[in-house]
Amino acid sequence: MSDAAFVWRGLKKVRMTGPLVLSVTNYVAANLNANGLLAVGASPVMTHQPEEIEDLVAISGAVVCNMGIPAGTLPEALYKAGACANTLSKPLVFDPVGAGASGYRNLVCERLLQAASPDVIRGNGSEIIALAGQSGATKGVDSTHGALEARSAAVGLAKQHSCVVCVSGETDLVTDGKREILIRNGHPMMPRITGLGCTATALVAAFAAVVEDTMEAVAGAMTVLAIAGEIAAKQAAGPASLQTGIIDLLYTMTNEEIDTCAHISG
Amino acid sequence: MSDAAFVWRGLKKVRMTGPLVLSVTNYVAANLNANGLLAVGASPVMTHQPEEIEDLVAISGAVVCNMGIPAGTLPEALYKAGACANTLSKPLVFDPVGAGASGYRNLVCERLLQAASPDVIRGNGSEIIALAGQSGATKGVDSTHGALEARSAAVGLAKQHSCVVCVSGETDLVTDGKREILIRNGHPMMPRITGLGCTATALVAAFAAVVEDTMEAVAGAMTVLAIAGEIAAKQAAGPASLQTGIIDLLYTMTNEEIDTCAHISG
Amino acid sequence: MSDAAFVWRGLKKVRMTGPLVLSVTNYVAANLNANGLLAVGASPVMTHQPEEIEDLVAISGAVVCNMGIPAGTLPEALYKAGACANTLSKPLVFDPVGAGASGYRNLVCERLLQAASPDVIRGNGSEIIALAGQSGATKGVDSTHGALEARSAAVGLAKQHSCVVCVSGETDLVTDGKREILIRNGHPMMPRITGLGCTATALVAAFAAVVEDTMEAVAGAMTVLAIAGEIAAKQAAGPASLQTGIIDLLYTMTNEEIDTCAHISG
């Protein structure tokens, strides 16, 4: 699996088929998530209105449940979107934003995992450790743990929920509880862009909509984003121009750039 | 009408008078909408709180009802803003985002059009076709139809609601049911920017606030945005730098750029 | 106080300690606020869910109550966040966005100031005049008054609420009712960026989390933002590239840039 051919295959398929991704998500990251999906060739649709969830899941290729800011109708929309995705066999990706930061977020996580079985859970180290029920300091929505510190939590969660777990960080870790893929790409300035983790989740959903093997879908999306960050950082004066460069590169990325840059092992 | 002088006249008037535009809109596009309005010289104010709608309509020069994400208090705010705009004779622009994508959005459209008479309806091909009650596949909030495919739907809607209908696409179409203006500007990368259609709607409202003739207001705003996209695309590395360039150009656009680029017929 | 050494001291302390700032805020500005906080070295967390306010205030270094768009659970979340911040002795910064624009916003302001005692109030000239109960025309969320026109309103508010009041404008004014600091930095294009005032508020909170003297915290944050705008404007083609430049500069700003540019008196 040191061969990155599957990354390009996935990206090409997203571009050719343009899957619709439904996101129940937060307003801090919504705009960047949508632009990330459009740049990679997918189509975003977003709602937190429970009454339209069923119709929108039905026309979507994959579903994102992003805990984002769990207020108003959002929690109910999350539970319904998760259950509908399962019923209609659409890939479901769960992003436990800020898990561990408040008792209420922990409760929403618990209820979502009772209502639905995600195909993928993607979070940062602190969120994955909190979700696995391990004790660990959290700092709001930013991580205080590297991905590798969350390895045992990730493996445990993957086994418990029979899903793929992705922990993003300096090294991204992808595991289904048995196999493991490590992606050593990206740039230290990337965590200074708000919502970039949520955007990773959205891209994972786009790949999962069209790529059969879930491990390859997740690792493919994470690699594309990390390489975009790595290349964009070379010309970025700071986090805002880095964000611009990343979105532009999601749109233009070539097989050659992936081949040259990818550092995947597992 | 091949003469683009009315476009510059409209833009100049917006810059000189700085109309306040009230938007009831969605959080995916809200930031870009506001920045588009500010760049063109107008002032944005946004709410989805029904209790302040009347006060805000009263001080505004035009009102946008953007179906955006119809959750929480937003639908009620839409109906109230539409009705208030009519009562206080403020130009009302309706953007049926994602019409046809869910039964619930169709219901909100129906109720809004019962509660209020828009002066302008602006959408993409699929939305206009869905709003006109014609069958047609939709893909969430992105269009699967060009503007010209929606011509008969647009003419029908314009006659039915005695308003101007604008369908955006590779060619933008503006009709009041009798006259027609076609704008052949823009760039194929523009639909890869989320919320750019909603921003077109916001600009249309800014122009409608200060330009007497509604056809000219709509065509003027659409031409300015399309030309900004066309010029910005020459230096854009992808959709994010395209977005930056478009907002910058809304701020700096000259009469000469409009004269040189505009491809308007009708 | 013409010496700007305290500005650099504040910025350095924010970068070294990375305070968590909880914002109850609006979705128009949320993304820029979060990116501003991340660029300056702080961490953002946002919510409008009353049930998680207490947990999030407890782990935060400072709290922002931004009236933003007072709909849904946001007003309740504002009151609770304000009260919790007081109880837990966390610096509380209040941004009365659009005060005076609607009766409802005035009511929310009144209730918030009954529920909590802010350490800092930051707004534009029109908002501060409206909050002080003086008559004065307002234009939605944009100001029609310079900061110096709001001087007596600011002094009155500062005395009434025993807090620091900051009025942003061409000149930024900071007062605790007795002392006054004036910051003559910035660029006329800055008000063409939506949410930049809200971002100033967020930065003030980040500084207040780590700087003992509140006057210095507020003046430090406002100076850093104004200098970022001033430097970025030299290369900006319009308001969007100005925004990119400002965020990048918040990340890279040096002591030398502050020393060279700062125009502080008081």
Tell me what pLDDT residue B135 has.
Answer: 66
pLDDT in tens, C128-157: 999 998 766 566 777 778 888 999 999 999
Task: Tell me the shortest Cα–Cα distance from C38 to chain A, in angstroms.
Answer: 5
CB proximity B104 to A under 8 Å: yes
Interchain proximity A69–C59, CB inside 8 Å: no
Inter-axis angle of helices A214-233 and A239-252, nearest 10: 130
Measured between CA atoms, how close is B265 to chain A, in angstroms?
31
Picking from B26, B27, B76 by the largest number of A CB atoms within 10 A of its own CB, the best residue to mutate is B27
Among candidates C202, C47, C194, which has minimal Cα distance to C120?
A: C202
Size of chain C, expressed as the number of residues it contains: 266
Is 60 exceeded by the pLDDT of residue B260? Answer: yes
Closest CB to A105 among C31, C52, C73: C52
Helix (H) or strand (E) holding B199, with range, is helix B196-210
Partners of A43 in the β-ladder: A20
Q: Compute the nearest-CA separation of C60 from chain A (Å).
A: 8
Q: Is C137 on the interface with B (CB under 8 A)?
A: no
- Give the three-state DSSP class for B227: helix
**Residue C224, burial from CB neighbour count under 10 angstroms (0-12, 13-18, 19+):** buried
CB contact under 8 A, A238 and C39: yes
CA distance A28 to chain B (A): 9
pLDDT grade for A73, boundaries at 50, 70 and 90: very high
Burial of A235 (0-12, 13-18, 19+ CB in 10 A): exposed
pLDDT at site C138: 65
Please name each of the domains of chain B with its CATH number.
Answer: 5-265 (3.40.1190.20)
Of C31, C244, C249, which has the smallest distance from its Cβ to A28's Cβ?
C31
Nearest to A47 among B71, B138, B139 (CB): B71
Distance (Å, rounded) from C-alpha A174 to C-alpha A115?
24
Is residue A58's pLDDT more than 90?
yes
Interface check B31 vs A, CB under 8 A: yes
Q: Which two tokens stand for residue C190?
A: 């800055």
**Taking CA A28 as the corner, what is the angle to CA A25 and CA A34, rounded to the nearest 5 degrees?**
60
Q: For all residues of chain B together, what is the average pLDDT?
A: 95
- Residue A154 falls in which region: left (phi positive, over 0), alpha (psi -120 to 50) or beta: alpha
Whether C24 has a pLDDT exceeding 60, the answer reads yes
- Whether residue B34 and residue C28 make contact (CB cut-off 8 A), yes or no, is yes
Q: Which residues pair with C165 in a beta bridge?
A: C121, C175
C192 vs B251: CB contact, 8 Å cut-off? yes
Residues of C in contact with A142 (CB under 8 A): 20, 43
Which candidate, B9, B160, B187, B167, places its Cα nearest to that of B95?
Answer: B167
**Which pLDDT score, from 0 to 100, does residue B140 have?**
75
Distance CA B66, CA B45 (A): 13
- A149 against C78, higher pLDDT: C78
Nearest Cα residue in chain B from C244: B244
Question: CA end-to-end span of chain A, whole Å?
Answer: 6
- The conformation of residue C42, written as its DSSP 8-state character, comes to -
Q: Are C53 and C87 in contact (CB under 8 A)?
A: no
Dmax over CA atoms of chain B, in Å, equals: 46
Q: pLDDT by residue (tens digit) across B227-239?
A: 999 999 999 999 9
Q: Does C38 touch chain A (CB under 8 A)?
A: yes
Residue B246 pLDDT more than 80? yes
Size of interface A-B (CB pairs under 8 A): 105
* Chain C residues touching residue B250 (CB < 8 angstroms): 238
Residue A49 has pLDDT above 80, yes or no: yes
Minimal-distance CA residue of chain A relative to B32: A31
Q: Where are the beta strands (DSSP E) in chain A?
A: 20-24, 43-46, 62-66, 92-95, 120-124, 164-168, 172-175, 180-183, 264-265
Segment 236-265 of chain A within 8 Å of chain C by CB = 236-241, 243-244
In which order are the strands placed within the sheet that holds C264-265? C43-46, C20-24, C62-66, C92-95, C120-124, C164-168, C172-175, C180-183, C264-265
C191 CB near a chain B CB, below 8 Å? Answer: yes
Using a CB–CB cutoff of 8 Å, tell me whether A194 touches chain C: yes
Question: What's the angle, vertex CA B11, arms to CA B8 and CA B12, rounded to 5?
Answer: 85
CA distance B193 to A38: 7
Task: Note the pLDDT of residue B143.
Answer: 79
CA distances for B95 relative to B150, B228, C85, C177, angstroms = 15, 21, 40, 47
Q: Among all chains, which residue has been given the structure tokens 């478009």?
A: B246
CA dist., res. C230 & res. C240, Å (int): 14
**What letter does residue B55 receive in the DSSP assignment?**
H
The CA distance from A53 to A43, in Å, is 16
Q: Cα(C67)–Cα(C69) distance, rounded to whole angstroms?
A: 6
CA-nearest of B160, B164, B136 to B149 is B136
Mean pLDDT of B150-158: 96
Whole-number percent of chain C with pLDDT over 90? 92
List CB contacts (< 8 A) between A42 and chain B.
none
Q: Return the higher-pLDDT residue of C81 and B68.
A: C81
pTM, two decimals, is: 0.97
Distances in Å between the alpha carbon of A197 and those of A98, A143, A147, A192? 11, 11, 13, 11
From the candidates B26, B192, B198, B246, which should be mutated to test the interface with A, based on the most A CB atoms within 10 A?
B192
Q: Which amino acid is at C191?
A: P
The distance of C244 to chain A (nearest Cα, Å) reads 5
Residue A5 reports pLDDT greater than 50? yes
Say what the pLDDT of residue C68 is. 85
Token digits for C168?
A: 């942003």
Q: Please, what is the angle between helix B103-115 and helix A50-59, to 10°? A: 130
Between CA C41 and CA C16 the distance in angstroms is: 8
Q: What percent of chain B has pLDDT over 70?
A: 97
Please indicate if any CB of chain A lies within 8 Å of the CB of B195: yes
- Angstrom distance (rounded) from CA A37 to CA A200: 10
- Whether residues A27 and C30 touch (CB distance < 8 A) is answered with yes
* CA dist., res. B26 & res. B261, Å (int): 32
Residue A1 confidence (pLDDT)? 43
pLDDT of residue B19: 98
For position C144, what pLDDT does the model report? Answer: 79
What confidence category does residue B68 fall into, taking pLDDT thresholds of 50, 70 and 90?
Answer: confident
Looking at residue C31, its pLDDT comes to 96
Distance in angstroms between the alpha carbons of the first and the last residue of chain B: 6
Nearest of B255, C13, C43, B64 to residue A140 by alpha carbon: C43
Both tokens assigned to A190:
């990337």
Q: Across the interface, which of B20, B51, B60 has its CB nearest the CB of C104?
A: B51
Proportion of chain A above pLDDT 90, given as a percent: 92
Spell out a b/e string for B33-71, using b for 16 or more CB atoms within 10 Å of the CB, else e.
Answer: bbbbbbbbbbbbbbbbbbbbbbbbbebbbbbbbbbbbbb
Q: In this structure, are residues B112 and B154 in contact, taking their beta carbons and an 8 Å threshold?
A: no
Q: Which residues in B lie closer than 8 A to residue A58 (C-beta atoms)?
A: none
Q: From the list B27, B48, B59, which residue is nearest C101 (CB)?
A: B59
Mean confidence (pLDDT) of chain A: 95
Q: Please determine, for residue A214, whether its predicted confidence score (pLDDT) is greater than 60.
A: yes
Q: Quick one: average pLDDT of A250-263?
A: 97
- Distance of alpha carbon C71 from alpha carbon A72, whole angstroms: 10
Q: What is the 3-state secondary structure (H, E, C) of B114-138?
A: HHCCCCEEEEEHHHHHHHCCCCCCC
Reply yes or no on whether the pLDDT at B185 is more than 90. yes
**Residue in A55, A73, A245 nearest the CB of B71:** A73
Per-residue confidence band for B1, with pLDDT thresholds at 50, 70 and 90: very low
Mutation site, B20, B23, B247, B249, interface C, largest C CB count within 10 A: B247
d(CA B34, CA B203): 10
CA dist A211 and B197 (Å) reads 30
Instruction: Please work out, in degrees rounded to the nearest 5, the angle formed at the alpha carbon of residue C234 by the alpha carbons of C232 and C236.
Output: 65
Contact B247 C239 (CB under 8 A): yes
Amino acid C1: pLDDT: 43
Give pLDDT tens digits for C91-115. 999 999 999 999 999 999 999 999 9
Instruction: Test C102 with B77 for CB contact under 8 angstroms.
Output: no
- Strand locations in C164-260 (E): 164-168, 172-175, 180-183
Pairing mode, strands C62-66 and C43-46: unpaired
Query: What six digits make up the tokens of B37?
Result: 């309005």
- pLDDT recorded at residue B265: 93
Q: How far apart (Å, rounded) are the C-alpha atoms in residues A49 and A53? A: 7
